[in-house]
Structure 1
Amino acid sequence: MNREQLTATLDPGVATATLSVCELSDKDEYTEQECNKFNEARSLVEQGKTYEEVAVHFQKQRVQPETSAKGKKPSKDKKTPDVMTFSQMLVIASEQVGSRISLIKAGQLLEACGLCEREDDTYPEQEVARFYEACEMHLRLGKPLVEVAAHFDVPVDSHAEVLELLEQMSGNQIEELKASLIQAKQQQNQQFIEA
């Protein structure tokens, strides 16, 4: 089935989000199995599931070992960690904060919460939660990236920190800061002279 037939009744953003959460790439043709997966994802969303819940559903399907050829069920002692691709994280985070997150902003948020892009493009559940928390703090609650980084104990470039703080300050606050810095410098000079 081609993409147009599969996504004909959907908004382009919804179609792309659905493809992403069910781990399908955007292409011209889809197999019957891929179409079934897409339709299952749409059905879950229509039943009230969030894109995050749908993504987790498909991740669990992907990482759960199949029953062996002997018909034995796999041991439940071995738990496979849930992982998510960066694209999936971005779709779900955008849904959670209610607006699209650009790749540049997503990169800044990854850095602010102490993560980096991975070659294999997969993030374990704990890192996914960290990224979502950073998105929530910065995009929904309006916290500056410096504050987000401090929350995660991530060292920041002091120059960037100063610039970000200055951008947030009003004219009066800047003048007060300037006066305080001048006064501190004068006190430092006085102490040097007396010593």
Structure 2
Amino acid sequence: MSVNIVGEIRFCPHCGRPVEQRDVSGRARPYCPACGVTFFADPKLAVAVVIEQDGKVVLQRRSIDPGLGAWTFPSGYVDRGEPPEVAAVREVQEEVGLTVRLTRLIGLYAEPGDIVVLAVYAGEVVDGDLTCGEESDAVGLFSPDDLPPLAFPHDAEIIAAWRAGSSAPPSPDRAPSRR
């Protein structure tokens, strides 16, 4: 698909002709007059996991942008066709070396104009040793009351939501629901 710098479709991926903007449901969307196809830009789904271990939260210090040098939860993108819960467990393993069991969905986070929607889960350690992955230069356990500088504006909100729900954990056999 041909796109310009801001991600707008300029040419039809089916026939290669230039697209036009057309009002569809109150929004300007790329439209191919030759094919009659309207294109909808999909958001990118990312996942993060708040992991509690010994009363502390597992964080990693990012060695890449965005958020270079600041701390955040193990996180990453969901691959096409991959269930978000599977991606969350995979990302934790890749980023901090732990195998986790997800205990609940904390929430979904998105900002107007941002193409990424973040699904955040709570998880508990099942196995593994805390180690650095390719996108971090340090990992650690931190008290929720004494966190290092966080990488993203929503990280503090995520901690607050996690803490609000952590007093009543779900039963061990309950898996997060998917919608």
Fold shared by both chains (TM-score > 0.5)? no
Band of TM-score, shorter chain: under 0.3
Q: Higher relative contact order at CA 8 Å, sep ≥6: structure 1 or structure 2?
A: 2
Q: Please tell me whether Structure 1 or Structure 2 has the larger radius of gyration of its CA atoms.
A: 1
More helix by share: 1
